Amino acid sequence: MGCLVSTPKDTGGNRRRPANIGDVSVFVPGLRIPKPVDFSQSLGDHLAKSLVERLSALRTRIVVMAGQEAPTITRTRRKSATQHGGSTLGDLLQALEDYLPVLLGLVKDGSPLQHKVQFVWVNQEDEAEETAMYSAWYEVLSVLHLMATLSLSQANLLLLPRTSIDGYQPKVSEENRRSSVDVFLKAAGYLDCAVRHVLPQLPIELRRNLPVDLAEGVLRALCLQALGQGVDIQLGLAIDSTKATLAVKRRLACEMVKYWQQAQDNIMNLPLANGWGEKHRLFVKWKYIEAKAAAYYYHGLILDEGNTEKSHGMAVAALQAADEYLKESKKACEAFHASIPVSRNPPLWGTMKYLSEKIPKDTSSKVRINRDLYSHEKIMETAPTLPDFALALKPDEYQLPLVDASWNEEATKKGQLSSNKSRG
């Protein structure tokens, strides 16, 4: 049942580690790349030749594309992002979607065929260079993880600022921002499906031996990150809208804090100490601090609308907390981009461009006004508790596709064969 082989990282050669991954608006894990599999050797005596060949062709296409294109997808440049990256991602995603219904035939109705093939994937966040398992469910899990990773890469391309036609400051169009929310929800849907419907299919022993790239905590964290960044985009759109109230903006900012806090909780105790893994941890830390800066800022503005000394004192404390978190987030941002593989922070835009200008200015102004009105004792030294809101943004309800019709034909052929034998 699901024999496991993990190769230590010092066996060399398979794992590609780019030194620089370019501009990063969205954290994209290093691509886990599948290694070739000989389906005919494992399944030749159990399936029709045409079905074995189809499985082989579909997976080989993915192996070739992922191997060739991984460096292109991983390293993003604002100028070339839309020219090459987008179509590459789309083609590889389509290849994975074409493969999945055929692959699922191996696990249909608990088929013993699910343990016949050894699937091998190169890891990125785990200490082991690669992980091999005799488990078709491991292959399904790896495919969903790759689909989510590609979707996050699509979101990153959409959210890289580009110089506008009028030559002003680089920015991200509203169309791209709205499209990115859909992509984030799609990525979250793949990951949510992986956690709720695929992981439970793996025996406990195999689950324990999964690479950290596919650990439940990492999958949950990536799902929450996608939702957190989706809310970040919604907050940016609310900031640009004349109709959005302070209460709406505060709610979005507070929800964002919860998503990032939960993401951090999920990876806190995992061994993410290796290259991509450490970068992943630093990204979550940075975005969690950044979200707190936004939440305390809007909470402070709402508290300042109160008419009491206490509410004004709490407002100042909240704004001061926002200012401190903003400073801390800049350091966390630098630490993330400096970690290996090195990356670049694109020009500020959206939520953080607005808040990086407003927080210091409004904090300084409110502190000065309130200290003129009240004694220092009336101003709280600790920030007030943020309000707790239910999380509104949910992953897309992605469901595994139906098993490809070619498996039904396979069953029909087998039935005919056994019927002919019994007659004979």
The per-residue pLDDT for range 62-104, each reduced to its tens digit, is 999 988 776 666 555 544 444 444 567 889 999 999 999 999 9
Partners of residue 33 on adjacent β-strands:
122
Q: Is-contact 231 255, C-beta < 8 A?
A: yes
Q: What is the pLDDT at residue 381? A: 65
Two structure tokens written together for 89:
């991602």
Partners of residue 119 on adjacent β-strands:
133
Q: What are phi and psi of 7, to 5 degrees?
A: -100, 130
The closest alpha carbon to 100, from 335, 341, 348, 404, belongs to: 404
Q: What is the pLDDT at residue 7? A: 47
Q: What are phi and psi of 135, to 5 degrees?
A: -155, 120
Q: What is the pLDDT at residue 370? A: 67
Q: What is the pLDDT at residue 421? A: 45
Q: What is the pLDDT at residue 368? A: 78
**Positions in the chain short of pLDDT 70:** 1-18, 70-87, 164-167, 273-274, 370-381, 410-424
Assign 132 to helix, strand or coil.
strand
Q: What is the pLDDT at residue 128? A: 77
User: Which residues, including other chains, have CB under 8 Å from residue 346's CB and lie 6 or more apart?
Assistant: 23, 24, 25, 78, 160, 161, 170
